[in-house]
């Protein structure tokens, strides 16, 4: 995590207001908008499609062991995907 001296980035009036609540401590200020992992890169969408495909295959009778081999995942990971209640 990168630390920045507040006096270098905040207007004096805002700094004085913050000092009414916190002085001499490290203060974390989160980003305004938080995106879930993979949202920007498309990785999340790719995993969602893969997981949907795994669930559909499981519903048609393909075994967990076979899915693990086909997708190069552990059987425990396959179980988490097929038994999750997300979708």
Residue ranges covered by each domain of the chain: 6-83
The predicted model scores a pTM of: 0.59
Q: At what angle do helices 64-71 and 43-59 cross, to 10 degrees?
A: 150
Q: How confident is the model at residue 86 (pLDDT cuts 50, 70, 90)?
A: low
What is the pLDDT at residue 21? 92
Can you tell me the mean pLDDT for 26-32?
83
CA 62, CA 36: separation in Å to the nearest integer?
Answer: 31
Q: Decide if pLDDT at 83 tops 90.
A: yes
């Amino acid at each position: 995590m990168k630390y920045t001296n507040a006096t270098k980035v905040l207007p004096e009036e805002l700094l004085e207001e913050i000092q009414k609540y916190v002085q001499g401590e490290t203060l974390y200020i989160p980003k305004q908008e938080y995106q879930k992992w993979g949202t920007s890169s498309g990785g999340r969408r790719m995993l969602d499609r893969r997981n949907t495909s795994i669930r559909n295959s499981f519903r048609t009778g393909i075994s967990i062991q076979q899915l693990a081999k086909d997708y190069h995942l552990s059987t425990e990971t396959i179980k988490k995907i097929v038994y999750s209640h997300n979708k």
